[in-house]
Structure 1
Amino acid sequence: MLRLRLLTWDVKDTLLRLRWPVGESYAAEARAHGLQLQPPALSQAFREVYGAHGRRFPNYGRDQGLSSRQWWLSVTGQTFRLAGVRDDSIVTLMAENLYQDYCSAQNWEVLPGAGETLSQCRQRGFRMGVVSNFDNRLEKILSRCDLRHHFEFVLTSEAAGFAKPDRRIFEEALRLGGVPPGQAAHVGDDYTRDYRAARAVGMHSFLLRAAGQGEEPAVPPEHVLPTLSHLLTLIEKG
């Protein structure tokens, strides 16, 4: 059995996922303002803008003096402009509305097994924290989805100043958790940002990967979670 004291968790697509594709949510907001935009076109525009913005202003532009709110309003506004919306006042209003909407539970759903697994881990005495490339809305989102109470700390890349896979965000999580790396494990769905990055600082890690998601050659099967419900079994076997 692994002698673990701290479990850290990724959030998006590990504990929570979006209820609807981004294009559908953006199209619904546009309809509320009398605009007919196609979800696939909005999804494509979002991917382009999000990617370009992330490269130009990494980690929500924190080091360039932006707030995550400014960063997201710019991404959302440019997405609508790229999709053909010309009225700046409507673009601004839609961007504000969506920024607020994505902070509510209506846009997020808890992944199957997440709540039960977190409860069981707490019952076993593990200390728990979040390590997520997310902005400062995450505390509120976790609270509204009834998950916040499971965690001693919520460490976002915006607050830390570093985004996964930067080792410094994991080092900060270990400091907050008060344990050495060998007594901690990270759970996430991304091979590079979660699985490999945590191991690079000496932590254990588990990769959440549903069947058919593709194989990463460097992941032993005992580190792969087909569902979150497999976690405690793997820890006890480890």
Structure 2
Amino acid sequence: MDDLPDARVEAVLFDFSGTLFDDTGVLDPASLAAAAARNGVHLDPAAAADVIRRTLRHVDSPEGFAAREGCDLSPRAHRTTWTTLIADAGPFAPPLVEAVYACLTDPHAWRPYPDTVPLLRALRDRGVRTGVLSNIGWDIRPAFARAGVLDTLHTVVLSCEHGIAKPDPALFTLACERLGAPPGRVLYVGDDPVKDGAAVRAGLPVYLLPSERSAGTARGLATVLRLAPRLLEPGDGGR
């Protein structure tokens, strides 16, 4: 995607997992061992790593992906779906299942990509309204607060709080209304061609990040400023 044809972008809307925050390093052996210990389960590092491998292999399998359909429509649906998948991955006993789920949904365990914070602050400094739209079953706001950028966001739209999820265009429309900008003036940035790419059905221009990513490396978010030249003019956007 090159420079937007009508470079007057008034707002930028972002996906969360895999776009602004790293989704590859949330589960780590040390954190899982600590969470398990709080539930009365002892795991040495090797055992914790094995639990993580087995869990991820199951939840990311074709069957796991199918089972996760609709899990982000409410916190209850998310918990039920994910704890069932985690339990079946072992099978694991309830105390260990709860420890894995607690780690997965701990907002403090999610880390922003190195270029996330600089971009959000740059957009704020240019007066560009920003928001996050995520298919998720728990509140991600504390993750942004921990990174020191919650105050840069004008809205956070979570599927579990509205009972609708991407690729439903209604969720994108709602987010644009919250941003106070028409869809054609809101750039959507995500990483999923199906769910994030569906923003075009609601009239938003879309920029999709590459699917390849790794922990601790920049996500390529600085490209957002190049895509919309008017964003580079301080005080011009979204006022």
TM-score of the two chains, using structure 1 as the length reference: 0.75
Q: Which residue of 2 aligns with 1:41?
A: 54
Q: Which residue of 2 aligns with 1:169?
A: 171
- Structure-to-structure mapping, 1:1-238, within 5 angstroms: 2-18=7-23, 20=25, 22=27, 24=29, 28=33, 32=37, 33-35=41-43, 36=47, 38=50, 39-48=52-61, 50-55=64-69, 58-60=70-72, 62=73, 67-69=74-76, 71-72=78-79, 74-85=81-92, 87=93, 91=94, 93-104=95-106, 106-194=108-196, 196-209=197-210, 227-236=220-229
* Separation (CA, whole Å) in 2 of partners of 1:68 and 1:4: 33
For residues 103-145 of structure 1, the C-alpha deviation after alignment (integer angstroms, 9 at most, x for no partner) is 4455211112111011111111111111111123212222223
Higher helix fraction (1 or 2): 1
* Separation (CA, whole Å) in 2 of partners of 1:69 and 1:146: 29
Identity %: 24
TM-score of the two chains, using structure 2 as the length reference: 0.75
CA RMSD of aligned residues (A): 3.1
Change (3 A) 1:227 1:5: same
For residues 17-59 of structure 1, the C-alpha deviation after alignment (integer angstroms, 9 at most, x for no partner) is 136264857964687413536243232223357424323xx14
**SS at 1:16 equivalent:** coil
* Separation (CA, whole Å) in 1 of partners of 2:206 and 2:107: 28
Change (3 A) 1:192 1:70: closer
Q: Which residue of 1 aligns with 2:237?
A: none
**SS at 2:156 equivalent:** strand
Contact 1:8 1:186 in 2 (8 A): yes
The one-letter code of the counterpart of 2:130 is M
Structure possessing the higher relative contact order (Cα contacts under 8 Å, 6 or more residues apart): 2
Change (3 A) 1:29 1:80: farther
For residues 78-119 of structure 1, the C-alpha deviation after alignment (integer angstroms, 9 at most, x for no partner) is 42343133x4xxx2x333334443444552111121110111
The one-letter code of the counterpart of 1:80 is A
* Separation (CA, whole Å) in 1 of partners of 2:201 and 2:56: 34
Change (3 A) 1:30 1:117: closer
1:70 deviates by 5.8
- How many residues of Structure 1 are paired with residues of Structure 2 in the alignment? 213
Change (3 A) 1:237 1:207: farther
* Separation (CA, whole Å) in 1 of partners of 2:75 and 2:117: 28
